Chains A and B, each alone.
Chain A
Amino acid sequence: MDNLQAIMPMLIVTLAAMATMLAEAFRRKDERMPIGGLGVIGLVGAIAAAGLLWDRNAVGFGVIQADNFSLFVTVVVAVIGLFTIMFSSEVVEREGIPSGEYYTLTLFSVVGMMMMASATDLLVIFIALEIMSIAVYVLTGIKRTDAAGTEASFKYFLLGSFSSAFFLYGIAFSYAVSGSTRLDALSTAIAQSASAPGPMVWLAMGLLLVGFAFKVSAVPFHMWTPDAYEGAPTVVTGFMSTGVKAAAVAAFLRVFLSAFEPLRGDWTQLLTWIAMLTMVVGTVVGVAQTNVKRMLAYSSIAHAGYLLAGIIAASAIGKSAVLFYLASYAVANVGAFGVIAFIATRERNTGELTDFTGLWYAKPMLAVLMAVFLLSLGGFPPMAGFIAKWYIFAAAVNEGFYTLAIVGVLTSVVSVFFYLRIVVMMFMSSNKAELEVPPFGIVGTLGLALAAIATFYLGILPTRLIDLATQSISTIF
């Protein structure tokens, strides 16, 4: 019974995914079915299940651990999925996306993300990684007739499989070191040989690092991100940039801070360099972009850098900061991409900066919401992003990583510049006719409103979530 309990959230979402698949199969040609609704039910059920499992530390089949950490990430990912489905329901018909397959893939990807956060065995992490990624590769190219989309999909697929191969090779070496793919066995084996780790350990660590760095889009494995984010349908980009990152960071945290913990002194140095480079490259190249989706892609690279800084700090504060950051980054980013998706028309759907000109005069509420999301991403009070960044930098400073904190703070300031650029565009009056924004219904509005409320709530009253995050950390580390 415990086994099933531990995988309950994932099970519910899987069932929902299968239901959507069947619904699509049995749908007659032009029949309109609320397939997205099935997804919403599944995700809400998963969140409820996660809530019920809190503090229970259920273990499933010896490899899935539903501890507070994985439940936290499960809820974050489910919320991301919810927002994505809410925004997609508006956009799916407009963009000519086959809805049944789209929702099914999204839900399966969510299952993969949940599994990645909950797994304590490298094999299961690998399988979860593949479930999540393969679904997302297809989602990226789901608009079959769009050249940019299929190109993005293929590039993502290529580099994704490439990194999975590295990851697999790393798992092979971990297996060599410990004789098992379980994280605790690996941890014991490394701890025993901590004073003189053999070449196998270094290889394992390095290869696993490459695999994770790719998924998290850390420099220098970030090259796929701008193309994939730009070419994918905007709602999918919102999903990718938040969900995949959350799951990858969660797994990264678990693997490196439990299994490779004894070698922390060694990989911290390397990771610090990667984090600093990631923050700088993401910010600096982002400034040069004129396409909003690409700009946000580089911004998400920079955010990966901040998350890495939290991992490097590795104190209790650092780890709960990472969790809080994931939550606040998720709502703000998904909201921002939602707005971009809403203002796209059939002709004007590439997400250029000029698409935003004068949005405030056409749809002031949308412009204000976008400004809220962008300011949160920039780390501005009283939005969630401020508390999140503060927390991460505080953790870094506390552990003595002053350079990292300073680089983080400075890039944060520079990044405000490119977020502001979009804000400025929105408030500039345009010489052309007033901006045309296609109508969107109650579901989309509700989604955006909820995301904005969450952003403010986490910024002004973050205590609840911080406590939850701290509780989550104490269960595993």
Chain B
Amino acid sequence: MSLTLILLTPLVGALVLLAMPRRLEGGIKIVANVAAWAGFLVSLPLWWQFDPSSADQFQFVTRSPWIPSIGAEYHTGIDGFSALLVLLTTLMGGIAITASWSAVSLRIKEYYIALLVLQTGVIGAFIALDLLLFFLFFEVMLVPMYFLIGIWGSDRRLYSAIKFFLYTLVGSVVLLLGILALYFHLHAVTGVYSFDVTRYYTLDVPPRLQFWVFLAFFLGFSIKVPMFPFHTWLPDAHTDAPTAGSVILAALLLKAGTYGFFRFSMPMLPDATREAVPWIALLSLIGIVYGALCAMAQQDWKRLVAYSSVSHMGMVVLGLFALTPTGITGSLIQQINHGVSTGALFLLVGVVYERRHTRQIDAYGGIAAVMPLYAAIFLLMTMSSIGLPALNGFVGEVLILQGTFVVSKVWAGVAGLGIILGAAYMLWLYQRTMFGEITHDENRGLKDLGLREVFTFVPLIILAFWIGLYPKPFVDRLAPAVQRLVERVSPEIAAGAAAAVHAVPDAHAAPAVPATTHPAPGVH
């Protein structure tokens, strides 16, 4: 029941906004913010009420028939990972709407309605446990985003909006074919028509079919992530979207892709997953390095952050497909981290864009002198993005690196290179914009962050430190989900870990097991 409440709160907000007269601009903004933050508050119980020690794979499950004749149900539920994602969604949604207070003046009613509908779509995608329901929300996300970019964006917004839409649509459609193939295979094996995700987890899929379905799913999800070479829509979409759009795109929509891998591709098609690891690792590594190098070459601030997203998400996918518990945990944490830090970075760009209406890096310089608070927060988020210890980025990156290292030292090495490059372009960006003399007179009069703007950053700062210093609550919530996935895709690691658990009380008899269950570094 409570998941549906979380799902519908933004939608109710959108409907209320629909009924409001256009002239009441102040009222519209207030209602939108109330709806968004109410959505966050309603989702907070997920943090406390989620039980990591429960034996159920999914909690808060709601299940009612939707289209019985084809076996589609309204089936929702969360595990540790989707719980965190839903919380991230409602938080970023609230932040995005509050950040838009003064940023948008054209057709603000429709703007907030689009944001709230988008919110519903994203939440729906993360809680759906029925393949058709998931696909529906996966597609529904595209439409409001398309309008956000196309109407309230900048420069080449129409081109970017269409590119975004069609690119992701092609992927989704191929994904649909994969879903259909699995659907009919299930029917052939069990005689039942169903889209229930849990059925597919236990379904035996022959290797040939796994290969093709994995490929279909891969196309759909990798375009969303985005993985090299399907990333070309991202820089355009990010740069031309309005600030709130970029924040939601980076923080949430990209996660829908990796979530898709975690929830669908990997557990349903384990053999194909294992076979695909070298290829996916290759594409991820290329994405990491290529994204970083492109970021370094950018003149447009937002485009730089966009390419940094490509690089970071490459890291996320690498950790995921390392198929080790540490790697997967790191990947999941890093997804949350990326949402926080990249969301914050886009917010930061939005702040100066609102003031100066330019994203060119060389139009700035020495800003730290006039906007010290801004510079401080920017530095913090830069460090978070780079992966400085004590901040969230470090936890994710270290886990990913360790999880990858046991699979291939070369991969971990190249990924490490990506981290170094990340530090390079971020620090260089910071230096060019914040430090030194103020080179442009327009920058002298810039006002520092207002109270509302600070408010939008506070939750992100808190999260950055929390995850960085004390990640245990997050890791605990993720652990059961990770364990289940590892059992499915890497049974030998899971068996080895189980043996290690049994052997721990008797230290002498401990066989040589991969100590990948411990997040402590430098064991092997």
Contact = CB atoms under 8 A, between A and B. Distances in A.
A394 B180 CA distance: 6
B140 A364 contact: no
B184 A397 contact: yes
A455 to B, nearest CB: 14
A405 B177 contact: yes
A2 interface: no
B71 to A, nearest CB: 11
B183 interface: yes
A425 to B, nearest CB: 10
Interface stretch (A162-170, A174-182, A461-469): A461-469
Interface in A395-416: 397-398, 405-406, 409-410, 412-413, 416
Given A364-B110, A382-B136, A397-B184, A412 B143 contact: no
B162 to A, nearest CB: 6
Contacts of B376: none
B139 A398 contact: no
Nearest to B133: A381
Contacts of B147: 427
Contact of B173 (A397, A413, A462): A413
A164 B135 CA distance: 44
Contacts of B136: 381-382, 386
Interface string B137-178: 001100100010011000000100110011001100110110
Contact of B169 (A405, A416, A466): A416
Contacts of B68: 463
Nearest to B187: A398
Nearest to A378: B169
Interface in A449-477: 462-463, 466-467, 470
Contact of A466 (B67, B151, B181): B67
Given A412-B173, A413-B169, A428 B139 contact: no
A417 interface: yes
A420 interface: yes
B70 interface: yes
Contact of A406 (B66, B135, B177): B177
B202 interface: no
A375 interface: yes
A270 to B, nearest CB: 25
A381 B139 contact: yes
Interface in B164-217: 165-166, 169-170, 173-174, 176-177, 180-181, 183-184
A15 interface: no
Contacts of A390: 132, 176
Contact of A394 (B70, B135, B173, B174): B70
Interface string B371-397: 000000000000000000000000000
A217 to B, nearest CB: 24
B453 to A, nearest CB: 29
Contacts of A467: 69
A256 interface: no
A391 B143 CA distance: 22
Interface in A368-399: 375, 380-382, 386-387, 390-391, 393-394, 397-398
25 contacts: A364-B110, A380-B139, A381-B136, A382-B136, A390-B176, A391-B70, A393-B177, A394-B180, A394-B183, A394-B184, A397-B177, A397-B184, A398-B184, A409-B173, A409-B176, A412-B173, A413-B169, A413-B173, A416-B165, A416-B166, A420-B162, A424-B150, A427-B147, A427-B151, A466-B67
Interface of B: 66-70, 110, 132, 135-136, 139-140, 143, 147, 150-151, 158, 161-162, 165-166, 169-170, 173-174, 176-177, 180-181, 183-184
Interface of A: 364, 375, 380-382, 386-387, 390-391, 393-394, 397-398, 405-406, 409-410, 412-413, 416-417, 420, 424, 427-428, 462-463, 466-467, 470
